[in-house]
């Protein structure tokens, strides 16, 4: 009798993730269906991970992305995602397409490239959500919060409201940009997050979008969706769903929201 070895015999998916984060891989491995493996390359650059050229006709991949593409190109991957919400929202309208073009050129013809921005937009469309309650991590500084709201508006999605989550008493004296570096990323609790979202979600919202791939939240998606009676989408859930679709995998995944059963 053999044991499951997490071999990607159905699909292998490459993730570009923040160098010091553990959440994306943990959540992806929790949700990934049998026969789908996840492989991460780490990026230390600031957002966006591909820099606009001066004339904005294209982007240049940062050194970490170029290195990761060279490694991923040899791994027979089905899809590769730039799993960084901040890059998409800071890059702004048009950045995702430019980044995908750059990634595709560096990866070669075999792997399909996408970004977390494209993934969340596709997930919102598939779920019929047009006016989401946009929930943002407590470590997003003011300018990134503004960029996130503007990003979705520019793509035809008008948030009913948005919330930067309260980090809790232990962390409130720190500015948002210092929270992750001071260790909050490894002390995230999902129960207070559930309570804040449920209490703040306006009736005008037709769904909830929890942005930020370093934001621990997939454990509450199913319960939150049941209790608010509306679709709940998260950054990592959306990217997994979209990458499975791009790879031709239609296996339903139970326990992490309706999106992964579609």
Mean pLDDT of 44-73: 94
Asked if residue 69 and residue 150 are part of one domain, the reply reads no
Best CA proximity match to 212, nearest among 107, 153, 134: 134
Mean pLDDT, the chain, whole residue set: 96
pLDDT at 223: 98
Residue-number span of the structural domain to which 92 is assigned: 11-115+237-252
CATH code of 49's domain? 3.40.50.12500
Which one has a higher pLDDT value, 3 or 227? 227
Asked if residue 143 and residue 103 are part of one domain, the reply reads no
Asked if residue 176 and residue 196 are part of one domain, the reply reads yes
Residue 196's alpha-carbon distances to 35, 192, 202, 204, 241, in angstroms, are 35, 6, 12, 17, 25
* Residue 247 domain flag: yes
Tell if the pTM clears 0.85, that is, is over it. yes
Best CA proximity match to 211, nearest among 128, 90, 94, 30: 90
Asked if residue 206 and residue 146 are part of one domain, the reply reads yes
Decide if pLDDT at 233 tops 80: yes
* Residue 221 domain flag: yes
Q: Are 61 and 41 in contact (CB under 8 A)?
A: no
pLDDT category at 217 given cuts 50, 70, 90 is: very high
Asked if residue 182 and residue 97 are part of one domain, the reply reads no
Decide if pLDDT at 2 tops 90: no
pLDDT category at 207 given cuts 50, 70, 90 is: very high
Asked if residue 83 and residue 124 are part of one domain, the reply reads no
pLDDT at 3: 86
Where does the chain show beta strands of DSSP type E? 11-18, 36-43, 50-52, 59-61, 79-82, 112-115, 132-136, 161-164, 207-210, 232-234
Asked if residue 84 and residue 20 are part of one domain, the reply reads yes
Asked if residue 18 and residue 63 are part of one domain, the reply reads yes
* Total domains present in the chain: 2
pLDDT in tens, 86-136: 999 999 999 999 999 999 999 987 789 999 999 999 999 999 999 999 999
Mean pLDDT of 25-42: 97
* Percent above pLDDT 70 for the chain: 100
Asked if residue 184 and residue 124 are part of one domain, the reply reads yes
Work out whether strand 207-210 and strand 11-18 pair parallel, antiparallel, or are unpaired.
Answer: unpaired
Q: Are 134 and 211 in contact (CB under 8 A)?
A: yes
Asked if residue 197 and residue 168 are part of one domain, the reply reads yes
pLDDT in tens, 154-176: 999 999 999 999 999 999 999 99
pLDDT at 108: 86
Best CA proximity match to 42, nearest among 8, 61, 73, 14: 14
Query: Within 10 A of 58 (CB to CB), how many other CB atoms are there?
Result: 14
Asked if residue 205 and residue 99 are part of one domain, the reply reads no
Question: Considering just the CA atoms, what is the radius of gyration of the chain in Å?
Answer: 17
Asked if residue 132 and residue 71 are part of one domain, the reply reads no
């Amino acid at each position: 009798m053999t044991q499951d070895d997490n071999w990607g015999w159905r699909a292998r998916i490459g993730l570009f993730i923040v160098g010091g984060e553990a959440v994306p891989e943990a959540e992806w491995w929790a949700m990934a269906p049998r026969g789908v493996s996840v492989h991460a390359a780490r990026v230390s650059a600031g957002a966006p991970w591909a820099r606009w050229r001066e004339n904005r006709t294209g982007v240049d991949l940062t050194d970490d992305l170029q290195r990761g593409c060279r490694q991923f190109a040899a791994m027979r991957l089905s899809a590769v995602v730039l799993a960084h919400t901040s890059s998409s929202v800071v890059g702004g309208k048009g950045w995702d397409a430019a980044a995908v073009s750059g990634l595709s050129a560096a990866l070669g013809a075999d792997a399909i490239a996408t970004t977390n921005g494209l993934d969340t937009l596709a997930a919102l469309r598939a779920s019929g959500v047009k006016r989401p309650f946009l929930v943002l991590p407590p470590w997003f500084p003011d300018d990134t919060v503004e960029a996130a709201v503007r990003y979705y508006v520019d793509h035809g999605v008008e948030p009913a409201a948005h919330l930067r989550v309260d980090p809790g008493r232990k962390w409130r004296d720190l500015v948002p940009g210092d929270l992750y570096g001071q260790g909050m990323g490894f002390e995230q609790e999902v129960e207070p997050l559930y309570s804040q979202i449920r209490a703040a979600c306006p009736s005008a919202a037709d769904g909830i979008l929890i942005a930020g791939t370093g934001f621990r939240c997939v454990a509450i998606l199913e319960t939150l969706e049941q209790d608010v009676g509306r679709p709940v989408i998260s950054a990592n859930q959306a990217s997994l769903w979209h990458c499975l679709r791009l790879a031709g995998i239609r296996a339903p995944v139970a326990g992490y929201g309706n999106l992964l059963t579609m």
